Amino acid sequence: MSANCSCGAVVPEGSQFCQSCGKPVGQVTPSSPQGISASSGGLSQSAAGGLAYITIIPAIIFLLMEPYNRNSFIRFHAWQSIFLGIAALVVGTGFSMMYHLLWFLGFLLFPVSMLVDIGFFAVWLVCLIKAFSGGKFKLPLIGDLAQQQAGD
């Protein structure tokens, strides 16, 4: 009777090691989702998904680099990070323009602008924590766009 090694090779009965890969028979090699292996020098999908939120630069890198660009979890978080950054930039620019055009209402715009900034920070933090823990926090509108781009 023969057995199969985790590499797929057939190992004759009584052999303690696989002749193909050299691993002990019966040793199970853990596999990571979608071909990304932390043991081979790559990041886990949750680490890459979380790092995508640090700035837009890692998000773009993950969309360009193999094997990360083949993982739908990482693509989703990279796209959502990019769209969240764009939304924050557009809203911040809008407040800045309103503040300069309506300088006499600055005392009203400043607290609203601060609350919006705190809101963006809170949403960013929730997305970051969720991605590092291996989950998804899909934002309204932005999350739908990210899901379309990621191909989910």
- Say whether pLDDT at 41 is over 70: no
Interacting residues of 143 by C-beta distance below 8 A, sequence separation 6+: 80, 137
- Say whether pLDDT at 101 is over 70: yes
| Cα 142 from chain centre | 15
| Number of C-beta neighbours around residue 62 at 10 A | 22
Rounded to whole angstroms, the Cα distance separating 77 from 43 reads: 14
The pLDDT-based confidence of 7 (bands split at 50, 70, 90) is low
Domain boundaries, the chain: 1-30, 34-150
Rounded to whole angstroms, the Cα distance separating 28 from 97 reads: 60
Please state the rounded mean pLDDT for residues 116-139: 93
What is the four-CA torsion angle of 69, 146, 125, 68, rounded to 10 degrees? Answer: 0
User: Which two tokens mark 33?
Assistant: 């989702």
Q: Is the peptide bond before 67 cis (omega within 30 degrees of 0)?
A: yes
Give the percent of the chain with pLDDT over 70: 80
- Say whether pLDDT at 112 is over 50: yes
The pLDDT-based confidence of 26 (bands split at 50, 70, 90) is low
The pLDDT value given to residue 85: 94
